[in-house]
Structure 1
């Protein structure tokens, strides 16, 4: 007599299972979609937060603090004399202090892997790497060669310097590391005796980059040069010649030409592409000494320690806004080695008046002769390469 009731309960139970199944199925589909979305987000923005072993799932690689570490530097300038250009070899050219060599970058929520030159060569065996850009790229290229060489001091090497192309080979591992000078990345041609910076042309330079397994680009400083430091007479864009234009506009046009070339010509399944962010300069002491004394000089001479704290009181380079926008718009974004802010704190790391064989008169006048753009080797670019190493292999 209760059979209809039991049947009704069974039907109700079956309906409940069906609804539960649909809910679970939808949840699984939604979860899968979320996971796929996260994977796509990670692939598209991998240059922002690389994955490393740490106390969180992601490592804020470019956010952190400088801490003193007596095990630094990673090599001595005397062990790498034929590699380091005179303008970067501060110890050889009389810099009296050495505390600036004793700082290690500590990311916010993870440990930065210690550089291993032998492991670098093993991972790169049979491959080629090219740094492309201005002298800040050369600064980093020379640093990396010295870091690796100190790990494998007895390996066979070969070096050839040229303009615009220089190459260093670790012969036992068939690894080549080259530098190609292209300060604007885009082409400069000579037309009727005038230097023309072509903001939409890059093939003249880019043919040299096409076959590298790892590419590290940089540009920035030369776009703001004026007067005798300006390397062009006219800019050309869209068939029109300009005696000058807003330099950030010019930079963006040139970078978009580079980005479009990378998207169209680089197989990212074969070639890793990195872009080193804008390297800061330290010519204005009021940026880091605000509220203490009125700065009377315009250079970094006498600075022997990094800034403390986690924020830089000076101006952040406007060029970084352009770099960030262009890279985010790429179909396959380059990995951004975002060294700008961590380098802002290192007012102590520049060659200053120890930039090569300056005359006594030049050294006596830092306001005119101090180099507060490049970096001493050993020094800050070694940290750039530790970050590069982590991004490349971890």
Structure 2
């Protein structure tokens, strides 16, 4: 690894000057993604009850969660401090820009966190929210700064097309990218959580690769094929002098206490403390290995928000029964862990 932000920038096809800029971003030698959680009484970074953008499934305090300590942990990298999130500075430095999150409900989780961070920084600014249903895009704009923070819902990144045989997940096709994602200033991608869905919640009936159709296939293999399709699209379509590309990383779930050395625990319910130390006992998910493999083969720079392990340490950060109503150990309460993801994004954009 090359420090904080150059995790997987390949030099194979990147212009020399651009590649050197990539290297210099990690020149302080500090890995922002390795560290531990420390209690900080100055946290949370905003009031969950006063931010008007938190949806019910992320609003754990409004939903009756009795403990609040989970809101007051700060991420402390080993050997340095992570610079604080400054909402006004974020808006000034991104004046006139369009920033888009692309992915599933974990992207929405991070998007809502960023909206609350910006709202708390400039609460008297004029905000607008628009939804374009045809493109499945929501746009939040801070008018004084002409900054738009957008969400494009696309849970697999590749296309789902309705055909005569049913709904087909086309592992080698990305048409939405050309219509929705191109020509923006910042893109933050995410996918993984929907890849293992089966039965009624699976939003497709068949996989398609080339001219062949499959009723099912190995989901991790399908994930890698789709990521490679996405990587090719970025390499072919994105101009890195105009657009910064990030990948959110793999957001983990906590449905099995064996991973944190409590084998009798079935989910995150009642968890009120993060894990101590810097390493998750249960190891990292294979999906992260696949993601890093794909990113390492790209010719255009993509900055990995390597949030997996730091989030694995936060078994206390999920809504559990204080979100959707069902047991939710996948999403995150707000304020909470996604605020740190956005703090890392902010420092990456600097």
Do these two structures clear the TM 0.5 threshold for a shared fold by scoring above it?
A: yes
Residue 323 of structure 1 is matched in structure 2 by 291
Write out per-residue CA displacement over residues 205-238 of structure 1, whole angstroms, 9 at most, x where no aligned residue: 4420102100000001111112222221100001
Q: Tell me, yes or no, if the aligned pair for 2:240 and 2:301 is still in contact at 8 Å.
A: no
2:349 is paired with a residue of what secondary structure? helix
2:206 to 234, 248, 258: 234
Number of equivalenced pairs: 336
Q: In the alignment, is residue 277 of structure 1 matched against residue 249 of structure 2?
A: yes
- 2:185 matched residue in structure 1: 213
Q: Which runs of 5+ in 2 are unaligned?
A: 1-10
Aligned-residue offset at 1:40: 5.5
Query: 1: CA distance between counterparts of 2:56 and 2:310?
Result: 25
Question: What's the CA shift for 1:158?
Answer: 0.2
Distance of 2:178 and 2:252 partners within structure 1: 26
Distance 1:239 1:301 in 2: 45
Quote the Cα distance in structure 1 between the aligned partners of 2:317 and 2:155: 22
Distance 1:206 1:378, change over 3 A: farther
Distance in 1 (CA, whole Å) between partners of 2:60 and 2:338 is 13
Question: Against the structure 1 CA distance between its residues 260 and 72, is the aligned structure 2 distance closer, same or farther, given a 3 Å change threshold?
Answer: same
CA contact (8 A) 1:94 1:354 kept: yes
Residues 268-302 of structure 1: CA deviation (Å, up to 9, x unaligned):
00110000110000000122134xxx51x521100
The 3-state SS of whatever aligns with 1:196 is strand
What do the CA deviations read for 1:182-214 (whole angstroms, capped 9, x no partner)?
000000001126110000100134420102100
Q: CA separation in 1, counterparts of 2:183 and 2:105? A: 22
8 Å Cα contact 1:44-1:332 kept in structure 2: no
Q: In the alignment, which residue of structure 1 is the partner of 2:35?
A: 64
**Structure 1 position 74 matched with structure 2 position 45:** yes
CA distance in 1 between counterparts of 2:138 and 2:123 reads 21
CA shift at 1:63, angstroms?
0.5
Cα distance in 2 for residues equivalent to 1:127 and 1:91: 33
Matched position secondary structure for 1:78: coil
Worse overlay, 258-267 or 155-164: 155-164
Where is the helix percentage greater, Structure 1 or Structure 2? 1
Instruction: Give ranges in structure 1 of 5+ residues lacking alignment.
Output: 1-35, 359-368
CA distance in 2: counterparts of 1:65 and 1:300, whole angstroms: 19
The 3-state SS of whatever aligns with 1:327 is: helix
CA separation of 1:187 and 1:45: change in aligned 2, threshold 3 A:
farther
Is residue 2:346 matched to residue 1:389?
yes
Instruction: Give the Cα–Cα distance (whole angstroms) in 2 for the partners of residues 93 and 66 of structure 1.
Output: 25
Aligned residue for 1:347?
A: 315
User: Contact conserved, 1:45 with 1:333, CA < 8 A, in 2?
Assistant: no
Residue 87 of structure 1: CA displacement?
Answer: 0.7
CA distance in 1, matches of 2:218, 2:330: 22
Q: Contact 2:110 / 2:338 at 8 angstroms: preserved in 1? A: yes
> In the aligned structure 1, how far is the partner of 2:210 from the partner of 2:20?
30
Q: TM-score, normalised by structure 2?
A: 0.92
> Do the aligned partners of 1:140 and 1:381 also contact (CA within 8 Å) in 2?
yes
TM-score by length of 1: 0.82
Partners of 1:247 and 1:44 lie apart in 2 by 37
The 3-state SS of whatever aligns with 1:90 is: coil
Contact 1:307/1:346, CA 8 A, preserved across alignment: yes
Secondary structure, counterpart of 1:70 in structure 2: coil
Q: CA deviation at 1:46?
A: 4.0
1:265 match:
237
Are the structure 2 counterparts of residues 264 and 107 from structure 1 closer, same or farther at C-alpha, using a change threshold of 3 Å? same
Deviations 1:102-123 (A, max 9, x none): 1000111221111110000000
